[in-house]
Amino acid sequence: MDLSVFHRRNKSQVNEKDIIVTSNFATQLFFSYFKELVGKEVTVELKNDLAIRGTLHSVDQYLNIKLENTRVVDQDKYPHMLSVRNCFIRGSVVRYVLLPQDGVDIDILHDATRREARGG
């Protein structure tokens, strides 16, 4: 198991209580979990540092992510992406997905990690 879930701290651009889930391994677990978050607002940070906030439209088994109503977090750095409304992000280039606190059920996540640990 290499599940990395932790509170994000000391970052001004996001709510202090936002939770970060990295997509290292446990892809199946994340897939199941992210499916529950469809319709919620998330921020996807890419490995090239681009961070895009938007409504999670869909996610697939490879953790490809479709966002709607997107906006780039750092608009000064990426002005040309201002206009993008919907966006398909390749799962393999995702570094983090930041979830809103109210979109996270810690109990479900704990259960999922326990199942993952037993299954492993």
Q: Would you tell me which residues interact with another protein (CB under 8 A)? A: 1-7, 9-11, 20, 22-25, 27, 46-48, 50, 60, 62, 64, 66, 70, 79-93, 95, 106, 110, 113-114, 117-118, 120
Min dist. Cβ of residue 37 to another protein (A): 18
Pick between residue 36 and residue 78 the one whose CB is nearest to another protein: 78
Pick between residue 9 and residue 76 the one whose CB is nearest to another protein: 9
* Contact criterion met (CB below 8 Å) for 41 and 55: yes
Pick between residue 46 and residue 73 the one whose CB is nearest to another protein: 46
Pick between residue 76 and residue 80 the one whose CB is nearest to another protein: 80
**Which stretch of DSSP H or E encloses residue 116?**
helix 106-119
First to last CA, the chain: 7
3-state DSSP assignment of residue 55:
strand
* Contact criterion met (CB below 8 Å) for 101 and 72: no
* Contact criterion met (CB below 8 Å) for 1 and 117: yes
Min dist. Cβ of residue 39 to another protein (A): 18
